[in-house]
Chains A and B, each alone.
Chain A
Amino acid sequence: METVKEAISSVLTSMLPPSAARSIVATLPSFAAARVGTLDLASTQRLLGQIETGLKLFGGSTDRRALDAVRRRITGGSEPTPTQVVIRVRSDQDVLDAQRRCSEMVRAFFSGTDCVRLVTAVSELARNIYMYAGDGQVRMNLIEDANGVCFQVVAEDHGPGIANLDQILAGRFQSKTGLGRGLAGTRALLDDMQVRTGPGIGTTITGSKRVRRR
């Protein structure tokens, strides 16, 4: 099996002047050494973004055909595997890690403002775990389907649960640590959000945001 880099090189060489193709290939990140068909969704998108920039700079065109051809070759024809990140949340450092990983995951797909919305939402969920449950995990997924890409987040802990959930979701509860509407605000940053909570079962919050195909 060829590597992603070799695949990109051969597609670009067949469509561009050799020097332009070489220049673009030279800018590829190190993970392009992976085998064709093994890259996940976020890495695939980052590579394509890089190549798109390269095409503008060196090829003088934003021709979608070259990009589509590259995409077909490096994914081996099938859809790239979904990207999944799991972060154990036990400290304030883990909250920052969740922010950073989320940002890396979504920046190739969402607009600048939506990226900040998502990172902020993940940060709120992670901080809730660290402050109220002490230990838990945040799982983030990027899934691609016919309509576009969907970001999903699940924040799970086995803490005491949320006692006054209805009040909190209605935005009528002001905690001593927060400044805003807490979970209600987080829900506003996402397309949808569900909360399952109770004494003994802890808290699981599931949320998602979708981006339509361009």
Chain B
Amino acid sequence: METFVPLLKLGECLFVSVPNQLRDSQARDLQETISERLAAERQIRGLIIDVSSLGVVDSFAAKVLGDTANIARTFDARAVLVGIRPAVATTLVDLGIDLSGVETALTLERALTKLRIRVVSDDTRK
């Protein structure tokens, strides 16, 4: 089954909102779609992954998120996780999952600040 993944370009940044209840295969598809976009659009410097709809992140989901951040790095883009729920964060710590290789930010604005990306649309640049 094809999964529709909202993947938006925001200036020099790619914004992806991870849907809830992804099957393992769909999670891998998402990872592939992101890496294809990063390879195709060279000016992308940042990848913002919105996980606010994820009510549960188990070790597999965490692994996919970590891998995606590593893939972004190979394309010279920084990945930032946004919107992780407090209960999910607590559970990840209990579970002993190490996401220290992945940057996180509390809000989208802070993520953009972290990436030092100013959102300027192509229409107004000139």
A and B: interacting chains: yes
| A-side interface residues, number (CB < 8 Å) | 29
Closest to A125 in B: B58
Given A189-B91, A189-B94, A96 contacting B62 (CB threshold 8 A)? no
Can you name 8 A-B pairs with beta carbons within 8 Å? A92-B23, A95-B24, A113-B87, A116-B56, A116-B90, A127-B24, A178-B60, A188-B95
For A179, what are the chain B residues with a Cβ–Cβ distance below 8 Å? 59, 62-63, 66, 97-99
Interface of A, helix, strand, loop or mixed by DSSP:
helix
Chain B 43-64 per-residue mask, 1 if CB under 8 angstroms from chain A, else 0:
0000000000001111110110
Inside 8 A of A115's CB, which chain B residues have their CB? 87
Interface size for B (C-beta < 8 A) is 25
> Which residues of A, 19-39, contact B by the 8 Å Cβ criterion?
none
Bitwise interface map of B from 75 to 102 toward A, beta carbon under 8 Å scored 1, else 0: 0000000000111101100111111000
Q: Is B25 an interface residue (CB 8 A)?
A: yes
By a beta-carbon cutoff of 8 Å, the part of chain B in contact with chain A is 21, 23-25, 55-60, 62-63, 66, 85-88, 90-91, 94-99
Q: A127 near B60 (CB under 8 angstroms)? A: yes
Q: Is the interface of B mostly helix, strand, loop or mixed?
A: helix
| A120 close to chain B: CB less than 8 A | yes
Given contacts A119-B55, A124-B58, A179-B62, 18 further A-B contacts (CB under 8 A): A92-B24, A96-B23, A99-B21, A103-B55, A113-B87, A116-B56, A116-B85, A117-B90, A117-B91, A119-B56, A120-B91, A179-B63, A180-B62, A182-B59, A185-B59, A185-B96, A185-B97, A189-B95
B97: chain A residues within 8 A (beta carbon):
179-180, 185
